[in-house]
Amino acid sequence: MKFSINSINEEKEVLERTLQVKLFLENERVKFTLPQKSIEDEYNKEEYESFKNTLKKNESELDDFSRKLSVFFNKKPLSFSIKISAYGPMGSYDTNNNIITINKYIDRDPIGTIKHEMVHIMVEHFVQEYSLSHTEKERLVNNLQKTIEQATK
């Protein structure tokens, strides 16, 4: 698992993507953050690094969950990258590159949210193939995450 913090330019990209889907996020009641001032004024690398270090303390738990995902889906394990942002939804995913973006201002379990986004990446092809609604997709992801987390040998 690779952890990294977003650069100022990457944060600008997150902001641009968020603004493009802002109405959808609001309609679906997805919590997200936007800058209060300029990104350059708000950017504090030490805060990002601190949050990254907190996440890395749970890397073995995330690796274990990733292994369980690969067994569940009968696929070789994916290599996920975790990017730290201060903007956008609390968690988001890029299925093309197996990138999960986690918002450092998240107000719930960030490790659980990363696992949630990992499941999203694994089921996205199914979601697209069968045109699941946002609600159906979230229900599927939540149920799979819970089942996989509870699995023990």
pLDDT digits (tens, 9 = 90+) for 39-52: 999 999 999 999 99
pLDDT digits (tens, 9 = 90+) for 41-98: 999 999 999 999 999 999 999 999 999 999 999 998 889 999 999 999 999 999 999 9
Phi, psi of 72 (to 5 degrees): -60, -45
pLDDT digits (tens, 9 = 90+) for 97-134: 999 999 999 999 999 999 999 999 999 999 999 999 99
Q: What's the pLDDT score for residue 151?
A: 86
Quick count: other Cβ atoms within 10 Å of Cβ 67?
11
Could you tell me the pTM of the whole model?
A: 0.94
pLDDT over threshold 90, residue 153: no
Q: What's the pLDDT score for residue 152?
A: 76
Q: What's the pLDDT score for residue 77?
A: 82
